[in-house]
Every structure is written in structure tokens, then in C-alpha cells.
Structure 1
């Protein structure tokens, strides 16, 4: 076991939270990510300890900021749920990495984008930085929703509540950030490529085609004809 993880366990065992914070702050960024990953994995072992480890992770991130290298690792609904309190601190939802991507970019590129959870955060929490994150463009000029539309390779229909949540997120984004149609052509090319690789029939009944239309203000038929 790595020395910094052994020290972490010792501080937790002794309930020395002040010492734990000092230890974390003295670690380099890779060790800090190890510590956050360890705490996250511990939280998954039982619901009874989830809040305890979530509180620890939040305090650690509050003390030293969100490590840039962890942004792309928060890419599942479980990880988002665990790190939400930390992300709500100090505008971490909108913090970006070297690719100019924030946590939401990676969440929507993942296998199961948590659209409904994100929508709930927007509706019921004070998350102006989440709204800002939805509008941020990465190094390829893509918002998180555009990353989903272009890059995500999961083409099974979304559950109705997730589908409706995605439409709501589109509306929320475009209230502040009108869609950039210059991205449409490359998005269509990439989606057509993904479908071909998966030997899926490309037609206007594919849900993603309709979603692309909804985002860019076109009908599914218009999108299909543009491919």
C-alpha cells in the first residue's frame, strides 16, 4: 500500500481530521487524486458510510481546490452523486482541464449520462455554476450537450425521464447560449461514423437524429437529409 494512503487510513482511524487535512495539502496532485479515489471507493462499500466519506472528500477539496486531473474521472452518476457537494463549492462545476472540458462534458460523454440528476440539480439547488458549465465550450468548441450528441456511442433510446431531462437541459443551455450551427456538419459526420461502426441503420427514426434536430432547431427529417 502506498505510504500516503497508509497515512490517510491512520488519520481516519484516529479521527484526526486536522492532521488529515494537513497531510492532504502536503501531498502532490497525483497523491491527492489517489486519496480522493480511495475515499470514494470506501464510500461505495455501504450506504451507512457514504455521507461520512463524502464529507471527508468535500473538506479535502475545499481545502486545496479541485485537482484538474480528476475532472475527467468524474464521469458516472455514482461519482457525480458523491462529489456533488464538492463541485458546488467554489465554482468547481465550471472548472476546466487542459482540453477546456468540465465535469459535465465527461458525464455526457459517458455510457449513461445522468441527465435527470443534472436537471434536478438545476431545478432544486443553487447551482449557477452548473448552468455556466452547461454553456462552456471545450477545445473543439463543443458544449457538454454537443459532446453527447457528437461523441456518445450509446444509441439505445433514453428512458422517458432522461429524454425529457435532456430536452430541459437543452432549453436551459440555449437560454444563455444559442446553438452554434457551425458544429452541425461535423457532428452529423461523427454520428454517421459511429452508427456505421455499430452496423446500425441510419434513418430519421434514430433518437439521436431527432435530438440533434431539437438542439439545432431542425426536424429529424432535415437532419437526416443533411447527412
Structure 2
């Protein structure tokens, strides 16, 4: 029995060590690629965020996975997927926390909260309409097996939602995090994000034929109540 336990402990230790090494290789690769690409885009007058996004595209399925799928699978091994995702989520939490610390929402939006709602509604509606009508062109080239109507709705939502972490990071890199423009933009993007997830859920049910007003109405009322509470009651 003791020999079995010792062998089991050794196997667990070996597995943990292998996963740790793979994770370190991944982090080193990402850091080196990010630093190199960021240096290049900075020479072109772009922000560091652009380089970080481009480095992710280069290391992901878009380039590395398309040209060298075996190498990408070996580098980003599935055994580290859960840990890597956890680290990414923790980093995202810290980034959002930093955005909340640096952006002066109360100072710039204290008496102008209606503008945030108007900007949010327009920033959803205009890209949604444009995305919906431009989606057939992409559908014919990218996803013919998917029904056109569902593809149009999903594409429209994807075009109308702004990534708050990316937007906030751009403002911080440019030194604009304390400006009124930044506060208005992030405030509107926050409403877009909440609304976008609700719209995406409704579209998913609609495409599947499971949409019901009993599902939608309470959530719309809840969202409206939340916005009123945040922008007009809480100070």
C-alpha cells in the first residue's frame, strides 16, 4: 500500500511539474511576442494595446494555428487550459478594478448621466443596424452552413458591443483616464455590455425558437430599474 501511495504521489508531482513548465513556456512566449510586437507598433505611432491584440492574433488560431497547428497545440497544451483561463480572469478582474480606481465617474458624470444613456443607446443602435445589413456579405464567405437570419442577428450584436477592458486600457495608455470623454465613453460602454448580453440571450432563444415575452419582459424591466437606480438614485 505504501509503495502505491508513493508512486501515486510521484505521478501527481510529475504531472504538476510538467503542467507548470508548460505554463511557464506559454507565459514566456506571450510576454516575448507581446514586447516585440508592441515595440513594432509603437514605431508606427500606435498604442501598446494594439500591439498586445496583434500579438494575440499572431499566436492564436488566426496565424500560428493556421500555419502550424501541431506546434500551437504543443505550445498551448490543453492540460494548462483551466489554469491559463483562471490567470486570464484574475488579470481581467485587476484591470477592471484599475479602471474603477482611475476613471473619475462621479466628478464628470454627476450631473450629466442622461448623456451616458443617450450615447449608449445610439452606440448600440447604429452599429447594430449597420452590422445586420452588412452581415450577408460575410455570411456568404465565412459561414454558409449557418442560417442567414441567425448569423445577421449575432453579427449585429457583435458589432454593437464595445470591450470595456480594451477601451479602458487605451484611455490609460494615452493618459486620458481622468477626462470627461473617458468617463462618458466607459459609462456608455458599461450599459452597452449589460444590454448586449441580454440581447444576445434573446437572440439565442429566438434563433432556437424558444423565445417568449415572459422571459424578456422581466429582464427588460430589471435592466431599466438597474439603470435608474445607478444613474439617478445612487450618487
* Larger-Rg structure: 2
Which one has more relative contact order, counting CA pairs under 8 Å at least 6 apart? 2
- The TM tier, using the shorter chain, reads under 0.3
TM-score (norm 1): 0.27
TM-score (norm 2): 0.27
